[in-house]
Structures are given as C-alpha cells and as structure tokens.
Amino acid sequence: MSNKWLFITGTDTDMGKTVVATGLLAAAKSAGLRTAAIKPVAAGCEDNGSGLQNDDALQLQAAATYQLPYQQVNPVALEAAIAPHIAAAEEGRVLSAFRLVGYCRGLALLPVDMLLVEGAGGWRVPINNRETLADVATELNCQVVIVVGLKLGCINHALLTAETVRRDGLQIAGWVGNIIDSQMPRLDENIATLKRLIREPCLGIVPRLTDLTPEQVGEYLSLPAEFETES
C-alpha cells in the first residue's frame, strides 16, 4: 500500500468524526486489516486518575487492532473543551505542526495497514497563530475522509471543506454523511445533492441512532478504495 495515512476531518466540530473513525477502524478489522489510530491533539480532557484523557481518543484506542498506550494515541491532552490553540495558550503550552507530525510519524513503522489520524474540529482549526491541523495532514500526505454533519447548511460546509482539501493538494478518499438532525427538512434530497456535487465517493450514511457501537457503524461504511484492495 503506497499510503497508509488516513486523516479524518469534519465540516465543523461535533459532526461525528469519532463515530466515523471508529466505524472505519471496525470495518477495516472486519476486512482483515491491521490498524492503529492517533488523535495528536485533543481539547476537552478529564483526569480520572490516569492523567488527562479524552473520550474520543479512548474510543480510538479501543477500536484499533494495534493497542498503543494512551500517551501515544493522544500525545497532547488539553483540559479545556475549546479551540486547541487557545486551550494550549491557557496552559502555557505551544503547539506546532512539526511536533504533532513527529508524534504521528512515531507510528509509521508499526506493522499495520491503516494509520488513522483524527483531527479536531474542522479542516482549518488553528494550532497556533500561523498553522492549522491541515498542515499536519499535508505534511503526512494523508488521504482525507470528510465527515459531513447532515443538518441545515451542510451542503455549503461540505463543498467548502472539499474544495479547500483539494486546494491543499491532498486526495479526498471519500466522505461520510452523519445524520445530526433526523428531522432535517428534505434529508434525502440533501444527500442526493451532496452525492452529485462532491466528485469523490460517498463512503456511507450513518443514521441517527443511540449507542451505536463501532461495529454497528462499520456496517454502514465502505472502506476507501485503496484500503479495500488490501482485504
């Protein structure tokens, strides 16, 4: 496989990146692929006796087939559930794309078929005054999966995100629709519009259900084409 890196971004925060990421990890496991996952920076962490930990990162840790210690899954854990660069500044810490890329590359020699990186928020979330998480994905030359939160306004957000990822020179492996608002007017018509206007493939539509496990989510998803060839 020429590129093991898969970066999960969203059209906004709370769009279901972790739901989709763990679903893709479960689908990859079902296909016989070995996986590892990292959330290089997470804002919104709690200390339950083992140091600051983030629930999304814990879910990634559990869903990957290669079990890493928490500190490798989430090397930068920030307490406040706010923009990462602001949370870091409040803690007297400095984030940089160089350092976050280094944490990710620490996984590069693992005997796995997929290295999944989950971002924070959307594509252009700042990590300092001049860099964003997009710089991390670009430096790693990741394929990108865009999680589209299906709610009013999603078409504009999805098209702008896809346009920006392409402009940054990265390949979009596909997009996933995650139903945020089950009462969204003309849901089916919005999905059809997204499928028509986004030239990359739709990897699945995740329904609005409670307590979906990664395995259940994985049943609604297809792996990106390059990873499908490995199954």
Contact 42, 54 (CB under 8 A): yes
CA distance 99 to 136: 9
Question: How far is residue 151's CA from residue 107's CA, in Å, rounded to a whole number?
Answer: 35
Half-sphere exposure of 184 (CA within 13 A, CB side): 21
Cα separation, 37 vs 65, whole angstroms: 9
Regions in the chain scoring below 70 on pLDDT: 1-2, 229-231
Q: Whats the size of the chain, residue-wise?
A: 231
| pLDDT attached to residue 1 | 45
Q: Determine whether 126 is exposed, middle or buried from the number of CB atoms within 10 Å of its CB (0-12, 13-18, 19+).
A: middle
User: Can you tell me whether residue 181 is helix, strand or coil?
Assistant: coil
Sequence-separated contacts (24+) of 88-92 with Cβ below 8 Å: 88/41, 88/127, 88/128
Is 39 part of the annotated catalytic residue set? yes
Q: How far is CA 74 from CA 19, 59, 173, in A?
A: 17, 11, 24
The structure tokens listed for 198 are 């986004």
Which domains can be identified in the chain, with CATH numbers? 5-228 (3.40.50.300)
Share of the chain above pLDDT 90, in %: 90
Which of 17, 29, 39, 151 is catalytic? The answer is 39
Q: What is the pLDDT of residue 230?
A: 43
Token reading at 115: 């290295």
In this predicted model, what pLDDT tens digit does every residue of 100-151 receive, in sequence order? 999 999 999 999 999 999 999 899 999 999 999 999 999 999 999 999 999 9
Rounded to two decimals, the pTM is 0.95
What is residue 201's DSSP assignment?
A: P
Q: Output the pLDDT for position 197.
A: 98
pLDDT at 199: 96
- In the block, tokens 């394929």 appear at 143
* 51 SS3 class: coil
Of 17, 19, 18, 12, the residue nearest 160 (C-alpha): 12
